[in-house]
Structure 1
Amino acid sequence: MNVQTMAQRAYAENATSTRTNRATEYDLFARVTHRIKAAAEAGPKAYPQLVEALYDNRRLWTTLAVDVADPSNKLPQELRAQIFYLSEFVQLHTGKVLARKARLAPLLEVNAAIMRGLSGRGNTR
């Protein structure tokens, strides 16, 4: 390993460790949302990638639901309840999307709204 590679690796590790929880959550939402959009835009041949991205989105939302259900979570109770409700919606709606009985757009809209909140931009509509 050369010096440049070592420097890049050290910088990358340091940059990652200084990220806030909000930035990490935003990045997770951005990645999974991008994967869902890309697979949907690629059409039927990318259906396996869409299923995988939707699975990962469900896992992300399940993790959030578990986190906000924890009594030691410091978020306001009302916000915790809203996040839990959104998680339930995502779980149910994803099943409908996979059964081809619902559109993908609501899932993307929910993720986009969460990303706006995490970035501090709020609702710009």
Structure 2
Amino acid sequence: MTPQTLAQYTYAQAAAPTRTPRDTEYEAISRITRRLKAATARKATDFSAFVQAVHENRRLWGVLATGVADSANALPNDIRARIFFLAEFTELHSSRILADGASIEPLLEINMTILRGLRQMRAT
């Protein structure tokens, strides 16, 4: 590696954009939502992938609930309560999906709404 190439490589890494916690949340929710949509489309032929996607979404909301339940969380209390409520709803509805064949749409709508909100926060 030449000195010039080494310098370009080193400084290019330093110039990489810093990811914020909001960016990380957005990427995680986006990735899981895409998996959930894709698995729903293949539900009839690959039910185990569908179950896995529902479980991943449920686990994501469990992590979000744990985060907002932490007293050190800086979000306003009303937003924390709303996120916790959505996590509880996701838990219950996921069980209904797997046990009774309820629609996946409410979970997709929740995730998409959260993604829109996080996108707006990133833009400001």
Measured against the shorter chain, the TM-score band is 0.7 to 0.9
**What is the CA-CA distance between 1:42 and the residue it aligns to?**
1.7
State how many pairs are aligned.
Answer: 113
User: What does 1:1-125 align with in structure 2 at a 5 Å threshold?
Assistant: 7=9, 11=13, 15=16, 18-120=18-120
Say if 1:73 and 1:42 are closer, same or farther in 2 by CA, change over 3 A.
same
Structure 2: runs of 5+ lacking an equivalent: none
Structure 1: tracts of 5 or more residues without a match? none
Distance apart, 1:50 and its partner CA: 1.0
Of 79-88 and 96-105, the range deviating more from structure 2: 96-105
Q: 1:31 to 1:92 in 2, by over 3 A?
A: same
User: Would you say the 8 A contact 1:40–1:46 is kept in 2?
Assistant: no
Q: Which amino acid aligns with 1:56?
A: E
CA deviations 1:31-73 (Å, max 9, x no partner) are 1010010011123112111111111111110011011011111
Q: Aligned-pair RMSD on alpha carbons?
A: 2.1
Given the two structures, how large is their TM-score scaled by the length of structure 2?
A: 0.82
Q: CA deviation at 1:79?
A: 0.2
> After TM superposition, which residue ranges in structure 1, 4 or more long, deviate above 6 angstroms?
none
After TM superposition, the score normalised by the length of structure 1 is: 0.82
Task: Report % sequence identity.
Answer: 46
Cα distance, 1:100 vs. partner?
3.0
SS in 2 for 1:79: helix
Paired residue secondary structure (1:99): helix
Asked whether the 8 Å contact 2:68–2:83 carries over to 1, the reply is: yes
Q: Highest CA radius of gyration, 1 or 2?
A: 2
Secondary structure of 1:120's partner?
helix
Structure 2: how far apart are the matches of 1:119 and 1:56?
A: 22
Aligned letter for 1:82?
Answer: R
